[in-house]
Chain A
Amino acid sequence: DAGVIQSPRHEVTEMGQEVTLRCKPISGHNSLFWYRQTMMRGLELLIYFNNNVPIDDSGMPEDRFSAKMPNASFSTLKIQPSEPRDSAVYFCASSLPGRLNTEAFFGQGTRLTVV
């Protein structure tokens, strides 16, 4: 398996534009996480899905952020409209949860810059 695949790797956009980040989890994994990493706030859990259903979105900063998982092999994180303070590295991770095995596998991240 190629691991968790995120696209794009880098995104530079102007304030006010819509940004869509994409993630393909590892085949067979049924949990998917979106994290945001900044120097100031560290690694923040934005939302996580279990079996394609959003379980906890309490970390989503505001209504400008939305995430979907239409099927087991694809998820998107959308920011509309984007703002400079959204600049960060966004990570997607997937896992096969259970009491014995909750190791998460991370993608390489998308570095978002909003100017």
Chain B
Amino acid sequence: SQQGEEDPQALSIQEGENATMNCSYKTSINNLQWYRQNSGRGLVHLILIRSNEREKHSGRLRVTLDTSKKSSSLLITASRAADTASYFCATTPSGNTGKLIFGQGTTLQVKP
């Protein structure tokens, strides 16, 4: 069974707009990660946020984590056509430093 669920499943925006994707999970976690997948390719790690962190930034990416609600959000600011991809959250359950479980993903389309 999958740990995370992303919302929305699909998102279409204009270039320059911000894109927000949400992820909910079920169990306590050590950390939460966001990955990106371009069509036909493998997943690429974007950012990791630890369970004791609430917000993290990396370039145009901003990730928040609310462990009380078991949810996270990924914000991409000033989106570009090249940001078009699928985005997945992944969690490592507490007490397990190895296992990595992915959500269903959000497909983002950025129109030029």
Contacts and interface: CB of A to CB of B under 8 A. Distances in A.
Contact of A42 (B41, B99, B104): B104
A103 B103 contact: no
Interface residues of A, number: 28
A95 B48 CA distance: 14
Contact of B98 (A42, A44, A102, A103): A102
Nearest to B30: A99
B27 interface: no
Nearest to A51: B98
A80 to B, nearest CB: 25
Interface of B: 2, 30-31, 33, 35, 41-45, 48, 50, 88, 90, 92, 97-105
9 contacts: A43-B88, A56-B99, A95-B100, A102-B33, A102-B97, A103-B45, A104-B35, A104-B100, A106-B44
Interface of A: 4, 31, 33, 35, 42-45, 48, 50, 55-56, 91, 93, 95, 97-109
